[in-house]
Amino acid sequence: MNIIYSILIFVTTLLTNYPLENGYDIGDIATDFSLENIDGKFVSLSDFKDAKGFIIVFTCNTCPYAILYEDRIEALNKKYAFQGYPVVAIMPNNVETKPGDSMKSMQQRAIDKGFTFPYLIDADQKIYPQYGATKTPHVYILESTTRGPVVRYIGGIDDNYKDATLVKTNFVEDAIESLKNGGAIKFTKTKAIGCSIKQ
Amino acid sequence: MKSFFILIVYCFLSCVSKEKTKVKLTASLPPLEIHDFSGIEPYLNLKGSKTYIVNFWATWCAPCVKEIPYFEAIQANYSEDVEVILISLDFPRQYESKLKPFIVKHQLKSKVIALDDPDMNSWIPKVDVDWDGAIPVTLIYNSSKRTFYKRTFAYNELDFELKTFLTTK
């Protein structure tokens, strides 16, 4: 009996841990968080009372791909924050491995680049594994519903990291436009090269 | 005053000569192979008798750079049975300033190919459906086995994995 019980516990543990290790899929409810912003205040999704959704971007100061996308992330916030879809950036790296991603460096980078979005630090590195983020930059678009924030898009920002003017498909913009119009999102998951998140 | 002047001249000369050697070294490299994904794909499907280790990396990626010596050592120790191919995702503007000097400095013996294809969403799934784009990643394959690794390797870990391929042949 004990053995059966142990097996049951083992299987249940496996089943309950499995989705967490792999992070969110499209349609999953994202749990809220409370993470420190560059201004010292703690930010949660629930703070944005009127948000119709969120553009969550796992990003950092040190990854060349993240740097190439900084201006485009800022442009997304400028375009969509007032329409109800703010950018919330989260820096997931271990700052001991990447001192260039320390809170102080994040603050400096935000000043230098004029970021208008919250730039939060996942200091305990507990949030990015819940999402299943593996790299920077890595985007999750959430839609506010009565059930909570639902994951609607996972992936890259657009299809040309090198040159914003040569982009053919703006994955994030297209997804937000679809959400606004109540239409189906054409690309719900895309792939992009990025820097692995430093543990 | 005179010795100070000599020192300055000496410094100047030594700088110039260092610069010269650097330029010479990268110039002695065979031309860098640069491809879009259609040019890379054949390297993921080689039909020879060897086991192929294809690593996606970049000079700006610290965990990638850390494991490069292990791939080099594997190439040296299994030169009969293994071919290592290092596919660089360095930015084209850094081929001359970063990638080529890296190849020279570390005296890389493995084949290095640069992949320049910005439409990442179209080609990443063709490497492996489970790869979401974080590097480093490594593909090991031969005529009877193929495994994609979303992880980093120490030498003994890579050696261990490789042996599972060499015994399946």
Q: How confident is the model at residue B93 (pLDDT cuts 50, 70, 90)?
A: very high
Q: What is the pLDDT of residue B29?
A: 79
pLDDT at B27 over 90: no
Contact predicate A57/A90, CB 8 Å: yes
| Domains identified in chain A, total number | 1
Average pLDDT over residues B108-112: 96
Give first-to-last CA distance, chain B, whole Å.
Answer: 73
Which residue of chain A has the CA closest to B115?
Answer: A193
Question: Phi and psi of B55, rounded to 5°?
Answer: -110, 130
Q: How many CB pairs under 8 A join A and B?
A: 69
pLDDT at residue A12 in the model: 47
Domain layout of chain B by residue ranges:
1-30, 31-166
Q: Is A99 on the interface with B (CB under 8 A)?
A: no
- Tell me if A6 is assigned to some domain: no
pLDDT digits (tens, 9 = 90+) for B28-80: 778 899 999 999 999 999 999 999 999 999 999 999 999 999 999 999 999 99
Identity of the residue in A135, A156, A196 whose CB atom sits nearest the CB atom of B121: A156
Q: How far apart are CA B107 and CA A60, in angstroms?
A: 31
Q: Which residue has the higher pLDDT, A18 or A96?
A: A96
A39, part of any domain: yes
Report if residue A9 sits inside a domain: no
Compute the average pLDDT of residues A67-72.
97
Please tell me the predicted confidence (pLDDT) of residue B55. 98
pLDDT at B168: 63
Structural domain includes residue A109: yes
CA B26 to CA B89: how far, in whole Å?
Answer: 19
Between residues A6 and A38, which one has the greater pLDDT? Answer: A38
b/e per residue, A58-75, with b = 16+ CB within 10 A?
bbbbbbbbbbbbbebbbe
Please check whether residue A71 lies inside any domain of the structure.
yes
A179 within some domain: yes
CA B84 – CA B65 distance, rounded (Å): 15
Domain range B31-166, CATH architecture: 3-Layer(aba) Sandwich (3.40)
How high does pLDDT run on average in chain A? 92
Give the Å distances, CA to CA, from A123 to A16, A128, A160, B34: 25, 10, 30, 39
Give chain B positions within 8 Å (CB) of A162: 91-92, 118
Q: Is the pLDDT of residue A113 over 50?
A: yes
Mean pLDDT of A173-196: 96
Of the candidates A138, A159, A193, which has its C-beta nearest B135's C-beta?
A193
- Two structure tokens written together for B147: 């495994």
Domain span holding position A88: 24-196
For A141-167, the pLDDT digits (tens) are 999 999 999 999 999 999 999 899 999
| A2 assigned to some structural domain | no
Please report residues of A whose CB lies closer than 8 A to that of B58. 64
Helical spans, DSSP H, in B2-99: 2-27, 37-40, 62-77
Instruction: For residue A89, give the CATH number of its domain.
Output: 3.40.30.10
pLDDT at res. B1: 52
**Helices B155-166 and B62-77, interaxial angle, to 10°?**
50
Q: How far is the C-alpha of A118 from the C-alpha of A43, rounded, in Å?
A: 8
A14 in any annotated domain: no
pLDDT computed for residue A7 by the predictor:
52
Could you tell me the pLDDT band of residue B26, with boundaries at 50, 70 and 90?
A: confident
